[in-house]
A and B are shown apart, each in its own frame.
Chain A
Amino acid sequence: MVREEVGEIGRDDMLIDGVETEQKPNNEVPDGFNVNYLKIYYGKFFPYADMHKWMSYGNDGKHPGCDQSYFGRREFSFTLDNDIYLRFQSFNNVPELENAIKEKCPFKIDIGPVYSVDPAKRHAYAQSGDNVFTPVERELIFDIDISDYDDVRFCCSGADVCPECWPLMTVTIKVIDTALRDDFGFNHILWVYSGRRGVHCWVCDGKARRMTNEQRAAITEYLHVHKGNENSLKKVTLVGQSLHPFLGRSYTEVLKDFFEEKFISSQNLFSDEERYEKILEMIPDESITSELRGKWQDNKRVRDDINVVRWSHVKHLLQSSKHKGQGIRKCVEEIVFTFTYPRLDLEVSKHMNHLLKAPFCIHPKTGRVCVPIDPKHCEEFDPSGVPTLSKLLEELNMGALGTGGEDELDNTSLGESIRYFRTSFLQPLLKSCKEEIESSYTAKIQQSKNSLNW
């Protein structure tokens, strides 16, 4: 399919952000991004060994069940300074990876699937006729971008985020993370800040990596609620007498409280006519909407938050016994889902061959490091507080860097992210990979024994 090749083009930071006004503050250390600084970052900070450990999934061990070719069949892709894409890069070990990154100094590193054969040699295999070059493993990935929420946030648009709209991402993490763990039984999930305006999710369990495209699509659809596009009024339609347990749980445990207690006030959803009309559009009953309009027209001054008051009007009318119709009662939920339910970039998750930016890259527009986010404490995450390239360099100048070894980054502001990545994600992941490799090896031995025993 086409997507394989055009994968990353037109997505993420390729989207149109309007006119980019680059403001250079007059600090001594220029804020943001700079090739020379990036070189230093790749020289001193980037966690090559950890990335290699992760992408090897235990296959770099000594166990006879290890697949030594595994890491070498993974596609990496570099976006260079002058917007040149280098696709299908592959490396056999840490030094190869490290040397290539240091030499090319990519502005962006993307990670693709593990292929059946070394992606760098794909042409040699293509000559044999049979289509042997095909993706065989890939983490289940999600890409959530806050610019997809532009129709429901009024504080920012496009690439901008602020403390008023960032919580939409927090909600996303909570809803999706819980579903992935409780419903689908995945354990090894990494959430990463995309460096600017969104989050990425990597589901790394063995069974997630081996899923077919159809199975990926099934999970994606399960998590996908918004059906409307630019040309339909209703973005969310809920059917049936009750919500599916997953949606019900998301609603009662996350969305409802967030919407009522934070979002309606922070976005002033009911403050003026233009905004509340957007909500009234979702109610398919004229008598209700005109009653509400009448109530709100005189713009009475109220002591409480006008948004909260008006939302209670909506809820009261919709849920009152006067209107028995199923469709009307569900409107309350539909409104909440429309504004707050996660909006996934579906295509990214459905196909194995999509690329996704590697964690610990630096976003070229913000200079921020793409650090992991702990889903257990995701509401504490503040995108403006993540380590930046210039901050790390300042720390380097002040001698914060250790003298080599595992913990040399400990005293820098990247230390905490690296610690989290290792202890909460990598260690448990590698432990289960090891067990998996051992048990599948034992099973294989057993099987070959049995077949000899006949």
Chain B
Amino acid sequence: MEIVGSRRKNSSFSSADDAAVVSTIPLYRSAPELEVRLDDFELYAIHRLRVLKGISDGLSRGKKPNEMENLTKELWKVNMRNSEASEVANKDIISHYVLRLVYCREEELRKWFLSMETTLFRYRFQLETTDAQRALLKEFDLPYKAVSNAEYESVKEKLNQVVRSIGQPLSSADTIYYKVPFEQVPDLVATRRVFIFKGYAYVAMNQVVSLLMTQYRSHLSKALVLTNRKWTSMILEQEKDRLTPIVEALSTSYLGPDYSQPREYGEISLKDIDQVAKSSFPLCMRHLFEKLREDHHLKHGGRMQLGLFLKGVGLKLDDALAFWKAEFSRKVGAERFDKEYAYGIRHNYGKEGKRTDYTPYSCQKIISSTPGVGDHHGCPYRHFSEENLRAALDKMGVGNRAVQDVMDKVRNRHYQLACTLTFEAIHGASCDAGINHPNQYYNDSKNILESRVRATRMVDTLMYAEV
């Protein structure tokens, strides 16, 4: 990569003296020719999975970039260290390739893995020394040049405006910028962290990691598709007694249940639904439920979020149709409901279109959604104003003290922890695992309530016995 900086002294990273510096982050461009013990094969993969899972949890709790950096550092240190330096590098590479096998086999798995590995790469890159970063940059061999002095001067004002708009002091502003097609840095475009002119984004030196992430991601994405092909055409059969069982076990053990099939409480009937909504729905679903009862309508995002949740809770398709129809027909008439909305509900149950049995949304998905004007879906802890959230919690019967605790978590953007505290306040019981999924909230709530019912029955029986 050739660099022509606007300030000479900053632009030395193609000089000879840093040739000796090597980054510790491998780019995983070719599979390792290493012998691996079967135990290590599995163990390494589990260790790396812990790192990725930790990153995933951090993201869904809305951790800020600097918190994520520390988290990644910590996760890596705890899970990936080894007494021998050469083993560390091997473990890194082996675990990555094992997980490729594990996560290549389905679109959803690929997406998750891709996203977590890219995030991991990002923070590992940022934790490297400047020299190591430059060495890695060179390894990528990007085809972009830094903007010339003259061009820099011509857009300087705009570039500085961007720096101010993202809340950085001007003094620390980079003067080396790369001009790249905006398509290469979607994350910087989406957050308006770059100046864009006629299709080109001006990427500051300290933002270069975004460019690398794009490259890393697209390489890994292609590799996963190829690995999948190889898996189905060869490995699956060849390794059916050795690797296949390990790989298959790995993929299910850590993603948690998807709640697509109601397991614990087989069914829920329409006559109980209001009662159950009050006692066991998390706030996000309760709010949608109440809005639906009130307005007799929900926009698409709300219908999806609530509809799939109810499916996970155990509402049968016929009941679901009756439930939505009862509300919607009051607003748009039964005929219009049948024509325009029934399809979507059958679709959720896999009875239309692609006939996929869709899974209820997880907290992570709900937190990262972007409800707009007229929408009621999303995570209340994230998307409500403080005032509205307080009112909603109050209505749920959360006491003053607990509301304070919840608001603290919200301010620190720990939305799932806020929901966990709400759960604990309402149920008067602890929830050690934390809330990760609205359907988990529901199941945990049901567990507690049912066990109480059983307990009182026990007491009743005992009392009868005494009499």
Tell me the A residues contacting B by CB distance below 8 Å: 2, 4-6, 9-11, 14, 16, 83, 148-151, 182-186, 207, 211, 214-215, 217-222, 224, 226-235, 239-248, 343, 346-347
Given A226-B372, A239-B167, verify A184-B383 contact (CB < 8 Å): no
Chain B residues near A229 (CB-CB < 8 A):
371-376, 378, 383
Chain B residues near A10 (CB-CB < 8 A):
299-300, 303, 340-341, 344
| Interfacial residues of chain B within 165-191, with CB under 8 A of chain A in the complex | 165-167, 182-183, 186-187, 189-191
Chain B residues near A150 (CB-CB < 8 A):
373-374
Bound CA–CA A250/B164 (angstroms): 17
Chain B residues near A222 (CB-CB < 8 A):
189-190, 192, 196
Name 12 A/B residue pairs within 8 A (Cβ), A-sorted: A5-B353, A5-B354, A83-B339, A148-B372, A184-B199, A221-B191, A222-B192, A229-B373, A230-B375, A231-B384, A232-B384, A243-B165
Is B200's beta carbon under 8 Å from chain A?
yes
| Interfacial residues of chain B within 363-384, with CB under 8 A of chain A in the complex | 370-376, 378, 380, 383-384
Bound CA–CA A5/B355 (angstroms): 10
Is B195's beta carbon under 8 Å from chain A?
yes
Chain B residues near A83 (CB-CB < 8 A):
339-340
**B186 near A217 (CB under 8 angstroms)?**
yes
In angstroms, how far is the closest chain A Cβ from the Cβ of B253?
26
**A246 near B374 (CB under 8 angstroms)?**
no
Contact of A6 among B197, B331, B343, B370 (CB under 8 A): B343
Which of chain A's residues has its CB closest to B186's CB? Answer: A218
Which of chain A's residues has its CB closest to B298's CB? Answer: A10
Bound CA–CA A231/B383 (angstroms): 7
Contact of A2 among B166, B287, B348, B370 (CB under 8 A): B348
Which of chain B's residues has its CB closest to A205's CB? Answer: B199
Given A14-B340, A242-B165, A245-B161, verify A185-B300 contact (CB < 8 Å): no
**A148 near B192 (CB under 8 angstroms)?**
no
Bound CA–CA A163/B375 (angstroms): 27
Contact of A244 among B192, B197, B340, B348 (CB under 8 A): B192
Bound CA–CA A234/B344 (angstroms): 32
Is B162's beta carbon under 8 Å from chain A?
yes
Bound CA–CA A9/B346 (angstroms): 13
What bracket does the count of chain B residues touching chain A fall in?
A: 35 or more
Chain A residues near B372 (CB-CB < 8 A):
148, 226, 229, 343, 346
Contact mask B308-352 → A, CB, 8 Å, 1/0? 000000000000000000000001100000011101100110001
**A11 near B300 (CB under 8 angstroms)?**
yes
Is B198's beta carbon under 8 Å from chain A?
yes
Which of chain A's residues has its CB closest to B187's CB? Answer: A218
Given A16-B332, A244-B161, verify A6-B347 contact (CB < 8 Å): yes
Is B206's beta carbon under 8 Å from chain A?
no
Bound CA–CA A185/B189 (angstroms): 14
Which of chain A's residues has its CB closest to B160's CB? Answer: A242
Bound CA–CA A361/B389 (angstroms): 44
**B162 near A232 (CB under 8 angstroms)?**
no
Is B241's beta carbon under 8 Å from chain A?
no
**B380 near A231 (CB under 8 angstroms)?**
yes
Contact of A16 among B161, B331, B375 (CB under 8 A): B331
Chain B residues near A240 (CB-CB < 8 A):
164-167
Chain A residues near B287 (CB-CB < 8 A):
231
**A226 near B161 (CB under 8 angstroms)?**
no
Which of chain A's residues has its CB closest to B371's CB? Answer: A229
In angstroms, how far is the closest chain B Cβ from the Cβ of A325?
15
**A6 near B189 (CB under 8 angstroms)?**
no
Which of chain B's residues has its CB closest to A224's CB? Answer: B370
Which of chain A's residues has its CB closest to B159's CB? Answer: A245
Chain B residues near A239 (CB-CB < 8 A):
165, 167
Chain A residues near B343 (CB-CB < 8 A):
6, 9
**B348 near A235 (CB under 8 angstroms)?**
no
Is B297's beta carbon under 8 Å from chain A?
yes
Contact of A234 among B300, B375, B385 (CB under 8 A): B385
Is B246's beta carbon under 8 Å from chain A?
no
Chain B residues near A215 (CB-CB < 8 A):
183, 186
Which of chain A's residues has its CB closest to B301's CB? Answer: A347
Chain A residues near B192 (CB-CB < 8 A):
222, 244, 246-247
Bound CA–CA A185/B331 (angstroms): 44
Is B358's beta carbon under 8 Å from chain A?
yes
**A221 near B182 (CB under 8 angstroms)?**
no
